[in-house]
Chain A
Amino acid sequence: MSEPKRGEIERYAPATRINHWIVAIAFVLVALSGLALFHPALFWLTSLFGGGAWTRILHPFLALVMIIAFVLLAAKVWADNFMREDDWTWLERFREVARNREENVPEVGRYNAGQKLVFWLIVICLVLLLLTGIVMWRAYFTAYFPIEFVRFASVVHAISAVVLICGIVVHIYAAIWVKGSIRAMTRGTVTQGWAFKHHRAWLRALNRTAAPPRK
């Protein structure tokens, strides 16, 4: 990995990026396998996994991969995702943000309030999915739970999954919408301008603590 070029800032270290993409790929697989078993119209997706039974077998194991990878990732970004007072103002003025007018919103740190909410949404959904998923994992665990609880867990699992998928759709769209974001997670760097525009507080903080700008 080469050093950031002039005018660029490292947003994600290589390990973080790898971690993210493990989570991302696992998520896609888990989501596709889950959706395949959730809605008959999507059952054809089981072909991607070698058929229905393999889909049923792989789904929970892929989910474990995703969860473990996510925990590692979350540990890194945890501290940057607590909501601050400014974040609520940011949210109140989200309409401006949505119209690509960020001038009138409070300066954003490493993550904006939207990112933070998506983060917490993912955390909550994954916790629910993990717990209910264990209850639904027929091969090992279901027999230990009362049937009504299994039924309840099944609904919660489905709802959490849908909410999570929607959240991830938002996450992906945000990356497409805010140009320059994807390279943060692919190449690891953003431009100073990108940082200035979207995460000015973060940039300033970097400037304060960092060594003289790289030439």
Chain B
Amino acid sequence: MALQSLDIVRRSATTLPEPQARGAHTGEVAKLIDVTKCIGCKACQVACMEWNDLRDEIGTCTGHYDNPADLSDQTWTLMRFAEYENPKGDLEWLIRKDGCMHCADPGCLKACPAPGAIVQYANGIVDFHEENCIGCGYCITGCPFNIPRISKKDRKAYKCTLCSDRVSVGLEPACVKTCPTGAIVFGTKDDMKQHAAERIEDLRSRGFEHAGLYDPAGVGGTHVMYVLHHADQPHLYSALPDKPAISAAVGLWKGAAKPLALLAILATALAGFLHYIGIGPNETDERDEEKARRELEKTS
């Protein structure tokens, strides 16, 4: 079943396509996070820590409910709390579960120089294979959502795997399993979009005229999507990017620059070679030595 397929369709730092024969005919997977149903209980954080055997430091209170204060190699998902006063003067407490969005066009994978350290499965999950990771952090540079984190212990990059181990055996991700209000659901991307459409209709009936689905086209869509009350202003949700895309700089760096650079170097070398063959070396002969001697005698 395609939901479970861990066939690798894309690998970081490779130049030829990976096996494509087995497609995700029943649809790629997606996790839908309905921010409007989320109560910020952090059960998803605990489930993530428990399933993935992660334990972050016991930190401090920084004046926010966000704990730990940021994502890390030990914190792959994190509730971020934002207080927003809407134009009507009413307060809204926008609570967003942050974590890897599993982009269809993943900036991390594009940026990664280590073959096979980042892969994309046929079902859409973007996974890090830390054994191949060289710790350069280019995935962070490439990610439009600021998700991967390098461990201080082993200098390898970590992030949410969408519980690829669970999904591969037909289970939903741990955070989905634990979410008490059903704010996180999991299934095929089509089903999730359908579910989101119903939620959005309900939200619009409750006065959220800009309610919508966050499935940003700039990264080819994502396999983690949000239902937002204010889909017109994603930045309200603790700086969720309004229009995320792989940055032009990264695109150039990991795109056109690569072949052009090799071409430039080869072309330079080739130019030299052709010059050598066509015109030949510039040699100093006995006549030059003689001229030099005469020159020397003139001055002395």
Q: Judging by beta carbons under 8 Å apart, are A43 and B250 in contact? A: no
A99 touching B300 by the CB < 8 A rule? no
B289 contacts A by Cβ under 8 Å:
yes
- Chain A residue nearest to B137 in the complex (CB): A138
- CB atoms of B272 and A151 under 8 A apart: no
**Does chain A have a CB within 8 A of B249?**
yes
- In order of increasing CB-CB distance, the 10 nearest A-B pairs are A173-B272, A138-B137, A193-B289, A193-B288, A196-B292, A52-B134, A192-B292, A151-B249, A162-B261, A40-B13
Q: Contact at A147–B289, with CB atoms within 8 Å? A: no
Contact assessment for A159 and B282 in the assembled complex, using a CB-CB cutoff below 8 Å? no
CB–CB B114/A43 < 8 A? yes
CB contact under 8 A between A151 and B258, given known A177-B282, A193-B289: no
Q: Is residue B146 within 8 Å, beta carbon to beta carbon, of the partner chain?
A: yes
Flag whether A83 is at the interface (Cβ < 8 A): no
Closest to B287 in A: A193
Interface residues of B (CB under 8 A from A): 13-15, 113-115, 132-138, 140-141, 146, 150, 155, 247, 249-250, 252-253, 257-258, 260-262, 264-265, 268-269, 272, 275-276, 279-293, 295-296, 299-300
A177-B272 in contact (CB<8A)? yes
Which of A46, A179, A203 meets B282, CB within 8 Å? A179
Interface residues on A, range: 35 or more
Q: How far is the CB of A137 from chain B (nearest CB, A)?
A: 9
Residues in B with CB closer than 8 Å to A7 are 289, 292-293
Q: For B284, what are the chain A residues with a Cβ–Cβ distance below 8 Å?
A: 179-180, 191, 193-194, 197-198
Q: Which stretch, A63-71, A120-128, A163-171, touches the partner chain B?
A: A163-171
A40 and B300: CB pair below 8 A? no
Asked whether, in the complex, the Cβ of A154 is within 8 Å of the Cβ of B250, the reply is: yes
Instruction: Determine the distance from Cα of A195 to Cα of B291 in the docked complex, in whole angstroms.
Output: 11
Q: List, in ascending order, chain A residues with CB within 8 A of B14's CB.
A: 40
How many angstroms from the CA of A37 to the CA of B261 in the assembled complex?
A: 13
A78 interface residue per 8 A CB criterion = no
Q: A158-B261, A166-B265 are in contact. Are A203 and B281 (CB under 8 A)?
A: no
In the assembled complex, which residues on chain B have CB atoms less than 8 Å from the CB atom of A189? none
Q: Mark A31-46, 1 if CB is under 8 A from B, else 0.
A: 0000011111101001
A208 touches B288 (CB 8 A): no
- Among A41, A151, A169, contact of B265 (Cβ-Cβ < 8 Å): A169
Q: Within 8 Å of chain B (Cβ to Cβ): is A89?
A: no
What chain B residues lie within 8 Å of A198 (beta carbons)? 282, 284
B247 A207 Cβ-Cβ under 8 A: no
Contact assessment for A173 and B292 in the assembled complex, using a CB-CB cutoff below 8 Å: no
Among candidates B114, B115, B252, B276, residue contacting A177 with C-beta atoms closer than 8 Å:
B276
A204 in the interface, Cβ–Cβ < 8 Å? yes
Query: Given B141, B150, B264, B292, which contacts A203 in the complex, CB threshold below 8 Å?
Result: B292
Q: Which residues of A contact B286 (CB under 8 A)?
A: 193
Q: Tell me whether A40 and B138 are in contact in the complex, defined as CB-CB below 8 angstroms, given that A169-B268, A203-B292 are known contacts.
A: no
When the two chains form their complex, are residues B299 and A56 in contact, meaning their CB atoms are under 8 A apart? no
Whether B281 and A179, one on each chain, are in contact in the complex, defined by CB atoms closer than 8 angstroms, is yes
Provide the bound-state CA to CA distance between A133 and B135, in Å: 15
Min CB distance B249 to A, Å, is 4
